[in-house]
Amino acid sequence: MAKTRESSSPTMQYPRVVENQPAQEEIALRAYHIYLERGGIQGNELEDWIEAERQLVGEKGKVTQNGNGKSRRKPKANSAVA
């Protein structure tokens, strides 16, 4: 019976990167800013975290929609002034 060759080194598992998903550090920082904007009142940690995720996902979604995160404006129509 033939032996199967197994690698002697452990396989490295890289963190999964999901598009449009902010990192925990980004969420934590945004949640902290939301907490400060509310005046530092405790007791709304979960709501702050969820709002931070919502904001960051929305921002990342805008970046992927037009490629660079900048909003595209329509050029102004030049009106002739006589």
31-80 residue pLDDT tens = 999 999 999 999 999 999 999 999 999 988 776 665 554 544 455 555 55
User: How many domains does the chain divide into?
Assistant: 1
Domain assignment present for residue 42? The answer is: yes
**Given CA atoms 37, 40, 43, 48 in this order, what sign does their dihedral have?**
positive
Please give the residue range of the domain that contains residue 30: 24-64
Domain assignment present for residue 38? The answer is: yes
Domain assignment present for residue 43? The answer is: yes
Rounded distance between C-alpha atoms, residue 24 and residue 27, angstroms: 5
Say what the pTM is: 0.54
C-alpha dist (Å) from residue 23 to 53, 59, 64, 72, 75: 9, 13, 16, 27, 36
